[in-house]
Structure 1
Amino acid sequence: MGVRRLDRLRGGAAGVALVTSAALAVPLGAATGASAAGTALSYVVNTRANHGQVQKAERAVTAAGGTVVYAYEQIGVIVARSTDPGFAARLRGQNGIDSVGATRTAGIPAAVDDGTELVAAPATAPADGSEPLEPEQWDLRQIGADQAHQVTLGSRSVVVGVMDSGIDATHEDLAPNVDPSLSASCINGGVPDTSWKSWQPTTSDHGTHVSGTIAAARNGKGIVGIAPDVRLASIKVVDDGGFIYPEYAVCGFVWAAEHGVKVTNSSYFIDPWLYNCQSDPDQAAIVTAVRRAVEYSQHNGVLNVAAAGNFNTDMAHKSTDTTSPDDSTPLSRPVDNGCLELPAELPGVIAVSAVGSKGVKSFYSSYGADVVTVAAPGGDSRFQLPDTPDHNGRVLSTVPGNKYGYKQGTSMATPHVTGVVALLASAHPWASPAELTALLTAQAPPIACPAGPFDPDGTGAWRAVCEGSPADNGFYGHGLIDANAAVRD
């Protein structure tokens, strides 16, 4: 049987709700990229992006004892599997092979609890035309989304790709906006599957929650999203174990590039490594494969938004990683700034930190000068409680089964930015990803670093040091996003 390919389209949290790396919480489980004999691992094999060279590389994969799962000719990335521990070593150095890397270190564990705090929606909508649960949405008011809605709810021509655990397309607040024709799952070894069931959520409500923040409909039910008239594409990249392996992400970014997506939301880091270091051949190959997929999406007009993380770490001063690989046994290893969190630290990707209801860095949010692009509401249930009926410092959004729930994390901050980008794209339909980024950062009101170290409870448990100017610093980047300015400036 020939290898299937995705052809280019012709023409134009510590306190985090989802406790898997998909939500950028403390990872579950670090070892070597070599498989034990008889254990199948997935690999990315990088070569030149042309038909002849990819075919040659496919033959080399087979000769080295591997099986080709899928080939992305347009970026020169092949997804392969092998049970041979020497597979990668035999391929490396062969003519035409740029790099080879194992994308995992062990099998996928059982799913974990997302920890969503459910709430009940009122039976009827308020008489003033607002949504029943809108009074609890302190986050939308914080960024002026309520004012932005007086101007526009977004354009139906704008498609947002939610790269996550799937979207409940039957949810009363999401069904009007989910576009099945643009949705797919990538968790079958990085092979796109467009069947309806494949991109629905199974073990996680994370993707449905993220989607509601972006584009829950203004329909008199539940909540409202930041851009409630844009369309959503469910691009499922989180498997039932809560992992986002590199081949899933490669598939997702290529899918977005070739299906008219204007902005993607990545509320995760790519497993199994929190930071991918160029000194390790497996991790270097992962960086190459994912970078090629992200660049391909950017060249096709996609702006990508990603979470910075929930480790309260200074990503501008990396030193030690004790959490990787998170799919087997983590080991402590030295890291430096050349080791990248994917996709947040790739060029052109908007990296998002989180603030609470008082507009201050959330206790868990990772940060870093020249790493964080902008800040957005992600919630803070410990130190920043809003004056809302529930007094809940987390972010309220949709969860499967016509339900609603609170979560917090940079996973929740990221879709706020994605929603504002969707409004910007609605107002500026011909803007490039770079132009949308320039608009987003220019419109964000700056927030200065605190006068001293950040230490919200005085114990040092969440201590952090902010570096940079008021206009661009490690805690808040260029500032807090502004939905109202996005539709008026």
Structure 2
Amino acid sequence: MSARSRTRRLSAGLAVVALAFAGAGTAAAHATPVSVTGSGAAAAEPGILMNYVVNTKPVAIHVDRTEEAIKAAGGTVVQSYEDLGVVIAQSTNPNFRTDVKLGKNGKSVQTVGATRTAAVKEGPVGSAAKPAATKGLLAGESAPALDPREGEQWDMVQIKADQAHQQSDGTTRVLVGINDSGVDDTHPDLAPNFDAADSVSCNNNGVPDTTPGAWRPTTSDHGTHVAGTVAAARNGVGIVGVAPGVRIASVKVVNDDGFIYPEYAICGWVWAAEHKMDVTNHSYFIDPFEFWCNDDGDQGAVQEAVRRAVAFATGKGVLSVAAAGNSNYDLANKTTDSGSPNDTTPVTRTINNDCLDLPTELPGVITVASTTRTKDRSGFSNFGLNKIDVAAPGSSILSTIPGGKYGLKSGTSMASPHVTGVAALIKSNRPWLKPAEIEKALRTDADDQACPAVVDARCTGTTANNAFFGQGIVDALDGVKRW
């Protein structure tokens, strides 16, 4: 743990997970929602436990003063990130947003915002009991001895990973974070490449939990599927990932109801940065808003806090790759959002392009759209000119699922790990490259994919850069062939 990032190692419990890809989740315990209309936030009903991001200057004295302001306002400091100037706080004070700015140290507070609209289901920080270490999902089942199934992996052929493997499978020097619902490290295709020492769970109020097994899945197979696409081992069993020679770590950022709240995601980026990960995959959007608007008090504060976390990780050498989303939505021309907040009662609202899908629209994040076997855009995939960076296969993708099994899944969640795997191959072969240079290589090497022959007015741009495919379908072979 970096001395400059003063992440507190408080007692944290293990939360179970049920993840629907790209951030969907079932409703949590209801609380009065905050304003989603851009006029600032209305307080939750008295007594409800809520979590907040509190932003300040990334300077020690201002972080210290902000912590004191939080305590004076009846709050608890959950996590404090000095390098980000972000403090995660928890409080039952319905006037916390106002009170935290009123005390003698309140001048250090820049912005403050609730991270969710439902009550904190985890309970007060540090209150949950840690369960005994588990042996992994479906531990009682023996992994079947499967024949290699590479012949079923059309996706690897589309991105030329099969050809790239003739030159490089990647190297164990490279560590990839699977920021998701947990990874089943007992799977025979994942166990050879799994790094338990650098794995963590962040889904209890955003506090890192390194209890053995805390980072494993419980009911969701999403993270395990993503992990297989990135780095299923070349071991004569099952499938082969895009970068079968790199290491993977599980960074669990999803709670038991399938939500990825901001404090979980921020914890994940800081963890990745401090554990020297090279690439992280984010196949989700941050809940409870599909789009976070900076003209709303809560949402603007969260948007800034998450931006700082991504920038911090990028500065430490971490490249973030994210799914574009599965709403068939034009990210370059936003008009309405009818699904947010998804942890209480959605309210249809007018939005604009200043409202961001987090994390995929943040600077430094690679945004990945989904393709079909025939190189068409997957019908569910979000799109947008100069919003999509590259595209990759995401329809009916075969990969690992818990219990030594394999299954098909569709979504931009499945497209993103293909690009993460190619980035890992590039980093393996050119270890001196920084995140921005890997991003440039991904864009430059991608194979141009023109708009559909049947005119679709939504596919604006050129063959070299358009709304559906960005700068093209990612190319693993070009990532390794020159080195």
- TM beyond 0.5: yes
How many residues align? The count is 438
Whether the 8 Å contact between 2:23 and 2:286 is mirrored in structure 1 is no
Find the partner of 2:252 among 236, 242, 245.
Answer: 236
Equivalent position of 1:254 in the other structure: 270
Q: How does 1:369-388 map to 2 (within 5 A)?
A: 369-379=385-395
Q: How does 1:244-323 map to 2 (within 5 A)?
A: 244-323=260-339
For residue 90 of structure 1, report the CA deviation from its aligned partner. Answer: 2.2
Letter in 2 for 1:171: H
- 1:251-307 Cα deviation digits (max 9, x unpaired): 100111111100110000001111111110100110111011100011111110001
Question: Within 2, Cα distance between the matches of 1:235 and 1:263?
Answer: 12
Equivalent position of 1:6 in the other structure: 7
**Sequence identity of aligned pairs in percent?**
53
Letter in 2 for 1:39: I
TM-score (norm. length: structure 2): 0.87
Structure 1 residues 473 and 108: CA distance shift in structure 2, 3 A: farther
| 2:44 pairs with 1:51 | no
Whether the 8 Å contact between 1:108 and 1:241 is mirrored in structure 2 is no
Equivalent position of 1:461 in the other structure: none
Equivalent position of 1:352 in the other structure: 368
Whether the 8 Å contact between 1:166 and 1:235 is mirrored in structure 2 is yes
Find the partner of 1:423 among 422, 425, 439.
Answer: 425
Equivalent position of 1:101 in the other structure: 113
Whether the 8 Å contact between 2:376 and 2:452 is mirrored in structure 1 is no
Question: Within 2, Cα distance between the matches of 1:58 and 1:453?
Answer: 56
Question: Within 1, Cα distance between the matches of 2:101 and 2:21?
Answer: 30
Structure 1 residues 355 and 25: CA distance shift in structure 2, 3 A: farther
Equivalent position of 1:224 in the other structure: 240
For residue 76 of structure 1, report the CA deviation from its aligned partner. Answer: 1.2
Secondary structure in 1 matching 2:203: strand
The farther-off stretch of 427-436 and 29-38 is 29-38
Find the partner of 1:156 among 172, 189, 213.
Answer: 172
Question: Within 2, Cα distance between the matches of 1:62 and 1:109?
Answer: 21
| 2:204 pairs with 1:188 | yes
Whether the 8 Å contact between 1:121 and 1:404 is mirrored in structure 2 is no
Letter in 2 for 1:479: G
Equivalent position of 1:474 in the other structure: 467
Equivalent position of 2:125 in the other structure: none
Whether the 8 Å contact between 2:18 and 2:255 is mirrored in structure 1 is no
Question: Within 2, Cα distance between the matches of 1:336 and 1:248?
Answer: 26
| 2:98 pairs with 1:89 | yes
Moved over 3 A (4+): 18-22, 24-31, 107-110, 120-125, 451-454
Q: Aligned-residue CA RMSD in angstroms?
A: 2.1
| 2:429 pairs with 1:442 | no
Question: Within 1, Cα distance between the matches of 2:163 and 2:47?
Answer: 59
TM-score (norm. length: structure 1): 0.86
Secondary structure in 1 matching 2:406: strand
Find the partner of 1:35 among 22, 44, 50.
Answer: 44
Letter in 2 for 1:200: R
Question: Within 1, Cα distance between the matches of 2:479 and 2:144?
Answer: 31
Question: Within 1, Cα distance between the matches of 2:207 and 2:266?
Answer: 10
For residue 123 of structure 1, report the CA deviation from its aligned partner. Answer: 4.5
Structure 1 spans left out of the alignment, 5+ residues: 8-17, 111-119, 126-131, 380-393, 455-463
Structure 1 residues 6 and 24: CA distance shift in structure 2, 3 A: closer
For residue 452 of structure 1, report the CA deviation from its aligned partner. Answer: 4.7
Secondary structure in 2 matching 1:247: helix
Find the partner of 1:77 among 86, 93, 97.
Answer: 86
Question: Within 2, Cα distance between the matches of 1:415 and 1:262?
Answer: 14
Question: Within 2, Cα distance between the matches of 1:122 and 1:480?
Answer: 34
